[in-house]
Structure 1
Amino acid sequence: MDGITSGLVAEQRKDLGRQLAGWRAAAGMTQAQLAKRICYSRSTLANAETGRDMSIRGFWCDADDVVGANGALLAAFDQVAALVRDFHEQRASARDRERRQRAARLIAPTIQAQPSAPAEPRRCQCEAVVVGRWTEREVRAFREALRMTVHDFAQRLGASDAAVSGWEHRRTPTPPKMAAQAVLDQTLALADTDTKARFLLILNTPDQHG
């Protein structure tokens, strides 16, 4: 789905919260009473009703059952959750397009400066990519270049999910130990040329994470 804005997502979350508040009121229950019935804190319920926090699907399933919404609340949650998922996918696609455009801008001047010559198969200039020291930035860039989740990346390296998460932690990263650095070196060396190209591109793209 294209054209999803953060404002639309926020409004849909608020509308979902209003539906929850309406069903709760219709059931004659206070926030504290409903929260107790579904085994959540009152603040969690209050945040859900204001749209600040959607909580998890189990929360909405339990709330739907207790207030007698007959599946209406759960269906509304699923719709908003799908919208949020599409919104994040849209943002990820936009970032990917921006990276490709950036790469094209970097490559174009080089191509224009070269004299005309018979067409040759494209050759990647990143056969030997070497990382002096793996930090959270290089680890994350390599994982993203491989298009892997933390779990899949950890399995590829023979490490734990917690270890990889620690390496990538933005505020207090735990640098990979020498043995892990060597495994990362070897994995990068064995990567295909497209992965290496993406790795270099991601490293040279300003970090847009908050």
Structure 2
Amino acid sequence: MAEAVALLDEEGIGKLTMRRLAERLDTGSTTLYWHVQTKDDVLDLALDAVFGEARLPEPPSGGWRADVTALVGEWRAAMLRHPWTATLLARPLLGPNVLERTEFLHATLLDAGLAGLERTAAAYALSHHVIGAAMMQAAWQGRDGGQDEGDVRRAADEHLRERRDRYPTLAEHGHLSGHDWDATFDQGLIYVLDGIAARLTGASRP
């Protein structure tokens, strides 16, 4: 799947065809169809290969919070290295690399004391934070038209300043300029982990 991932990195999902992939592999499309049946099969395998780049803590630290932080940090980094992955995560993910990391996350949360709906909700909250953060960053850093991210941010901020009467909070305190992707992701993760920790201690229970 290395060539498929490389093709997606270079040209995006829209340019991926079985013919182009076969050319990169120096083989015929017919030969390629012996291994994969459709473009969707290629995408599923490529996505799972990217998930395999997210290293699991070895050995686990013994602390659920440290292990979860390490895993989601690796996951986000892998997605940002391959921004096209952000558009594919609405599909069922059942590859071995995805399942291994999902198993690790759920087992870590279970060992921490979350079961049933609480474990599932916590896992979803963590995955949604990673996916949402990576999608947003990939979208802003990969905009078309030749404009770099800084120019786009400054234009958006100017748009808000001109409409200060309608969006006073955004105009005053900033929505885009000065935004640090890493710091914002880390702080958001702290909020999610603090919420999980509160459930574990019973602090948020009625």
Bigger radius of gyration, 1 or 2?
1
TM-score in same-fold range (> 0.5): no
TM-score by length of 1: 0.28
TM-score by length of 2: 0.29
